[in-house]
């Protein structure tokens, strides 16, 4: 399947479904959309969706974070915005925040993103069971599908190691 098409389909899982059945941005004044130097990683192949969408509010660059697939080292793409976007075109990382996929001894788990503890009141206060059930289910379904791809799995192993550094710092999960 074409990566751009796949991500555009996955985006739709989160057009109407959000972490809790309320506007959580009202709790924190959209804390996760502030800090324009942070950016969000795009998942492998996701940048191709932006080649189609071509929005003017996003800037995509190579990050320093890499993974190796089929003997080739690849830079993970990172997207920057100015704190405003078309919500129907926002990246997958924004749609699933404050949850994230994580490989636990080779097994996919959906966890609270340890990078979110410092900014997101939901990540600080809720357990996974407290999030909207359909939100958690859609996050899981999206990554069950993506992890069928060998390159995505290579990425996810590196990404999980990267998350573990934050977990150690926050002593959670
Ligand atoms: S930081 Fe957390 S609570 Fe605030 S808008 Fe983002 S996801 Fe919602
Ligand atoms: S792309 Fe949209 S949802 Fe994501 S950080 Fe920027 S403003 Fe927030």
> pLDDT tens across 40-64, in order?
999 999 999 999 999 999 999 999 9
Q: How far is the CA of 74 from the centre of ligand 2 (A)?
A: 24
Q: Tell me which of 5-9, 23-27, 150-154, 166-170 is least confident.
A: 166-170
Query: Which atom of ligand 1 is nearest to 123's Cα?
Result: 2
Pocket test residue of 21, 27, 113 for ligand 1, highest count of atoms within 8 A of CB: 27
Ligand 2, residues at Cβ distance < 6 Å: 33, 81, 83-85, 90, 94
pLDDT at residue 119 tops 90: yes
Cα 120 from Cα 118, distance rounded (Å): 6
DSSP 43: P
| Residue 116 Cα to ligand 2 middle (Å) | 14
Q: Look at the pTM and tell me if it is higher than 0.85.
A: yes
Ligand 2 atom 1 nearest Cα: 90
Name residue 112's beta-bridge partners.
Answer: 99
Asked whether the beta carbons of 156 and 101 are under 8 A apart, the reply is: yes
pLDDT for position 173: 55
Is residue 126 within 6 Å of ligand 1 at its C-beta? no
């Amino acid at each position: 399947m074409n990566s751009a098409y796949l991500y555009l389909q996955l985006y739709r899982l989160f057009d109407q479904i959000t972490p809790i059945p309320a506007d959580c941005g009202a709790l924190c004044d959209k804390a996760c959309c502030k800090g324009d130097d942070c950016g969000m990683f795009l998942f492998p192949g996701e940048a191709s969706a932006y080649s189609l969408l071509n929005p003017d509010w996003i800037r995509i660059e190579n990050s320093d974070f890499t993974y190796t697939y089929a003997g080739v080292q690849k830079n993970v793409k990172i997207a920057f915005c100015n704190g405003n976007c078309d919500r129907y075109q926002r990246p997958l990382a924004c749609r699933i925040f404050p949850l994230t996929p994580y490989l636990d001894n080779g097994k996919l788990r959906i966890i609270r993103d340890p990078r979110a503890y410092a900014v997101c009141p939901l990540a600080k206060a809720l357990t996974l069971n407290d999030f909207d059930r359909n939100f958690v289910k859609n996050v899981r379904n999206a990554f069950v599908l993506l992890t069928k791809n060998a390159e995505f799995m290579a990425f996810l192993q590196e990404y999980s190691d990267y998350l573990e550094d934050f977990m150690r710092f926050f002593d959670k999960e």
